[in-house]
């Protein structure tokens, strides 16, 4: 079955993509990482997220190898360091990312987190990149609700295509105000580390629901993220079996009973919380 998609700017993207954090750090692992990403593409996980920060550009090189000859099959996302988000530095950083990946354009270019450069200057730089055809859309990462409100208030800020944040069963703070606000504005959210890098406790309700669905606890945790309205999950997987397990999680249907059990072990926020980062 094809993956479910959600609206994304002037198009749509699958709700399950592929992350690349920690890829590209070990030359001996590179071939396996490339194969894992290619398998993900074969299974319909066409959104690939990377960043200049990951392995100091090494992850972007892995992505470039994985998509060689398949650029039109992919929806590529990369991110710029905050210090590289100025009028000139953003152009230069994007060009370096394009060269490492071996592509002429990115589907989305993100500010990795907020730094000292004014958001208005970053928006100006990103809009220049879009006019040059080097990116098709731009967005942000790790910006909380107040930051997003400030962003949309600057000239051109309402073109923001997404906010990528830490969100999973153990990090439900965004549900209080950020996710509702983004939904209201029609801004999809990308959830990074949707299974907390494998650290979500695989016991209690997670284990119970997993047994009921003949799945693993991590698949249930991923399915929970995928069930959230307007959210794209981007787990990283370097092993083929892990890639297949992630893809299979999209077939899980969580019932109201399942969701209630998970809420008891992983309660939703009862008030505002600062946005968390990894």
- 197 CB-side CA count, 13 A: 6
This prediction's pTM: 0.96
| pLDDT tier at 112, thresholds 50, 70, 90 | very high
Residues 160-183, mean pLDDT to the nearest whole number = 98
Ligand-binding site membership of 242 (annotated): no
pLDDT at 249: 97
Residues 22-31, mean pLDDT to the nearest whole number = 96
pLDDT at 2: 86
Torsions phi, psi for 76 (to 5 deg): -95, 135
User: Is residue 137 pLDDT above 80, yes or no?
Assistant: yes
Rounded to whole angstroms, what are the CA distances from 23 to 32, 233, 236? 10, 17, 9
Residues 194-219, mean pLDDT to the nearest whole number = 95
C-alpha to C-alpha distance for 160 and 151, rounded to whole angstroms: 8
C-alpha to C-alpha distance for 128 and 56, rounded to whole angstroms: 25
User: Is residue 238 pLDDT above 90, yes or no?
Assistant: yes
Residues 182-191, mean pLDDT to the nearest whole number = 98
pLDDT at 246: 98
Domains with residue ranges and CATH for the chain = 14-265 (3.20.20.100)
pLDDT at 172: 98
Paired tokens of 86: 């100025």
- Residue 54: active-site member: yes
User: Is residue 1 pLDDT above 90, yes or no?
Assistant: no
| Sheet of strand 163-166, all strands in order from the earlier edge strand to the far edge | 47-49, 75-80, 108-111, 138-141, 163-166, 189-192, 231-233
pLDDT at 88: 96
User: Is residue 9 pLDDT above 90, yes or no?
Assistant: no
Of the chain, the percentage scoring pLDDT greater than 90 comes to 98
Neighbouring residues of 212: CB distance < 8 A, sequence distance ≥ 6: 258
The DSSP result for the chain, as a single string, is -PPPEEEETTEEEESB-BB-TTTTS-GGGHHHHHHHHHHHHHTT--EEE--TTGGGGHHHHHHHHHTTT-GGG-EEEEEE-GGG-STTHHHHHHHHHHHHHT-S-BSEEEE-S--SS-HHHHHHHHHHHHHTTSBS-EEEES--HHHHHHHHHSTTGGG---EEEE-BTTB-GGGTTHHHHHHHHT--EEEESTTGGGTS--SHHHHHHHHHHTS-HHHHHHHHHHTSTTEEE--B--SHHHHHHHHHHTT----HHHHHHHHHHSPPPSS--PPP--
Encode pLDDT of 241-265 as tens digits: 999 999 999 999 999 999 999 999 9
pLDDT at 263: 98
Residues 92-96, mean pLDDT to the nearest whole number = 98
User: Is residue 216 pLDDT above 80, yes or no?
Assistant: yes
pLDDT at 243: 98
């Amino acid at each position: 079955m094809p993956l479910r998609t959600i609206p994304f700017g002037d198009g749509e993207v699958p709700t399950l993509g592929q992350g690349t954090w920690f890829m590209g750090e070990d030359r001996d692992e590179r071939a396996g990482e490339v194969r894992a990403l290619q398998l993900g593409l074969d299974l319909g996980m066409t959104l690939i997220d990377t960043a200049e920060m990951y392995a100091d550009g090494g992850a972007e090189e892995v992505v470039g190898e994985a998509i060689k000859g398949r650029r039109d099959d992919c929806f590529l996302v990369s991110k710029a360091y905050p210090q590289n988000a100025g009028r000139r530095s953003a152009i230069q950083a994007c060009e370096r990312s394009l060269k490492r990946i071996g592509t002429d354009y990115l589907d989305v270019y993100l500010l990795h987190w907020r730094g000292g450069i004014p958001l208005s200057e970053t928006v100006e730089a990103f809009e220049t990149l879009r006019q040059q055809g080097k990116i098709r859309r731009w967005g942000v990462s790790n910006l909380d609700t107040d930051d997003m409100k400030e962003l949309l208030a600057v000239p051109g800020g309402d073109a923001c295509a997404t906010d990528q944040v830490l969100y999973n069963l153990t990090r439900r703070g965004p549900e209080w105000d950020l996710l509702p606000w983004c939904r209201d504005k029609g801004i999809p959210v990308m959830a990074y580390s949707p299974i907390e890098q494998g650290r979500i406790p695989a016991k209690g309700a997670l284990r119970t629901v997993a047994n009921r669905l003949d799945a693993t606890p991590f698949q249930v945790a991923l399915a929970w993220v995928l069930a959230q309205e307007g959210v794209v999950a981007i787990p990283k997987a370097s092993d083929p079996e892990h890639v297949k397990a992630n893809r299979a999680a999209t077939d899980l249907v969580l019932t109201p009973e399942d969701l209630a059990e998970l809420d008891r072990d992983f309660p939703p926020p009862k008030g505002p919380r600062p946005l968390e980062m990894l």
